[in-house]
Structure 1
Amino acid sequence: MLKDINEIVVPDSKIIQEAQDVVHDYGNELIWNHSNRVYLFGGIKGMQDNLKYDKELLYMCSLFHDLGLTNQYSSDDLRFEVDGANAVRQFLDTHNYNDQDLQLAWDSIALHTTIGVAEHKENNVALLYHGVGMDVMSDNWDQYSDEIRKAIVNKFPRGNFKKDVLKAFYDGFKHKPETTFGNIKSDVVKYFEPEYPQNNFCSCVLRSKWDN
């Protein structure tokens, strides 16, 4: 089990620096610290499991994965995950990334909250998902040493992360709560708006125009 955070390579190319600038310009301290913790947790899992993956692309997606919650990148009618995925694809496209990498980056962010699917995709997709799961819900907690967890949090503090991230989620899509139908973020809407008439799959089936 890895015990030294310095064994994890954090990419530092020109495009990475530009991506970091985007987060500083349009994100906030919560997103910055969370995104970096996500990369480190995901990268550590990749190293411990001896997986092959694109480190630069993983870090890029870690930086962009929650930008769909920000005013700059939030749309009126798309899931915030799709907004973030569109943002990273547009950013990478201006830097002449190939179509395969563009799709891999898009999938990584679009699926990063899709439990039961993302972990079975390509390594980059799965590692972003695992990094997010560890930082938000402590998934696979015992796969990380106490030393690593403490070192990561010391470098990128959590603050009052549990409550702050739920509020950040809600603030990011409270203008379009219908986009959370069918995904785990519907729980966030219910937490902040208990009376919101969230759509229901069974109701959709029973109210369909079919006779039977």
Structure 2
Amino acid sequence: MQAEIVAALPKSVAGVAVPDTAAAKAAARLCAEHSPGFLYNHCLRTYAFGRLLMARQGMACDAELTFIASALHDLGLLEPFMTPTQRFEVDGADAARAFALEHGFSDAEADVVWDAIALHTSPGIAVRKQAEIAFVHIGAGADVCGLGMSLISPDDVAEVLDAWPRLQCKTQFHRLMLEVCRRKPQAQALTFTAELGRAHIHGFACPTFEQLMAAAPFDE
């Protein structure tokens, strides 16, 4: 089933070429093997929306690295790649960097993949980094929060959604993030996921910034 999904990768979507390299296909396969359908589709939409939005600014990128980072950017939400203490972005970045090195990429290229994933939820930072890092951040923000979607033509949006349907992405993504919060609440400190945990999990054991500052060992 998952192998069939990867084999059916389109050559392009909404004018955005989908890399046809062995490493790109392996990244898509790794994502498909471990992800629920909604998350796999989100990762591929991240690539397409990021490319579409950044092209409007005249920005080019290494398509293969951008695709790999997009396909693997949520590995940290999945059991095989999840550590007990790290935030999910770092877990995913570590796994994706290892993947890049195993598939013959240089240390510098693997570092770009790491940064793209580790920083994909960091507004104001990712967009100041290399193009591939900015593309993943912009694409993920567009697909999850709708940021910049008004700048993409309705026909292009429809083509991306036809290729990779949402499959109740809002509901499913919310549920998955809450499960991560339940499993390792302390890892959510000072992240956006802490907001979810406090709002929806009774007794969520994760300090706020104010609590951490108040507990600092100083008299004033």
List runs of 5+ in structure 1 lacking aligned partners: none
Aligned equivalent of 1:150, options 158, 164, 179 = 158
Contact 1:69 1:173 survives alignment (8 Å) = no
State the SS of the aligned residue for 1:72: helix
2:181 and 2:17 map into 1 onto residues whose CA distance is 33
2:148 and 2:217 map into 1 onto residues whose CA distance is 44
Give the corresponding residue for 1:71: 79
Contact 1:69 1:171 survives alignment (8 Å) = no
1:50-97 deviation per Cα after TM superposition (whole angstroms, max 9, x unaligned): 212111011101110111111110111101100100011001111221
1:19 and 1:123 map into 2 onto residues whose CA distance is 19
Contact 1:68 1:172 survives alignment (8 Å) = no
TM-score when normalising by structure 2: 0.90
Shift of 1:194: 4.4
Please say which of residues 74-83 and 159-168 is displaced more in the overlay: 159-168
1:91-123 deviation per Cα after TM superposition (whole angstroms, max 9, x unaligned): 111122112111111000001111221122211
Q: How does 1:189-204 map to 2 (within 5 A)?
A: 189-204=197-212
1:12 has 2:20 as partner: yes
1:102 has 2:110 as partner: yes
2:199 and 2:217 map into 1 onto residues whose CA distance is 32
CA RMSD in angstroms comes to: 1.5
TM-score when normalising by structure 1: 0.93
Please say which of residues 148-157 and 76-85 is displaced more in the overlay: 148-157
Aligned length, in residue pairs: 209
State the SS of the aligned residue for 1:100: helix
Give the corresponding residue for 1:116: 124
Contact 2:14 2:159 survives alignment (8 Å) = no
Please say which of residues 114-123 and 126-135 is displaced more in the overlay: 114-123
Q: How does 1:1-212 map to 2 (within 5 A)?
A: 5-212=13-220
2:178 and 2:78 map into 1 onto residues whose CA distance is 11
Identity %: 26
Contact 2:186 2:205 survives alignment (8 Å) = no
